Amino acid sequence: MARLVAAITALPTAIPLRTGGFVPCPSCDGQVRYDRWHRGASLCCSTEGCCEARFNIAAGAVWPAKRLGAEA
């Protein structure tokens, strides 16, 4: 769970819809791939078992929000 929070924190804030990319994983030597679409987002580290998650996001919401750590 801590790795997942760290990975989310490493993402750029307010990812535009229908875009994705990679950021260096803060927990290992891998790369975290992220994708953002209309009603959700996903992230997945290139290192198996590191971190992976999908999110359902309300339409029009900004994700990740700048202060995500407080609620995660």
Mask: binding to Zn ion, 37-56, rule CB under 5 A, as x and -?
A: --------x-x--x------
Q: Cα separation of 22 and 24, whole Å?
A: 7
Smallest gap from Cβ 41 to Zn ion, in A, equals 17
Verify binding: residue 26, Zn ion, rule CB under 5 A.
Answer: no
SS3 44: strand
Smallest gap from Cβ 35 to Zn ion, in A, equals 16
Specify whether the CB–CB gap between 18 and 37 falls below 8 A: yes
SS3 8: helix
Among 6, 10, 23, 28, binds Zn ion (CB under 5 A): 28
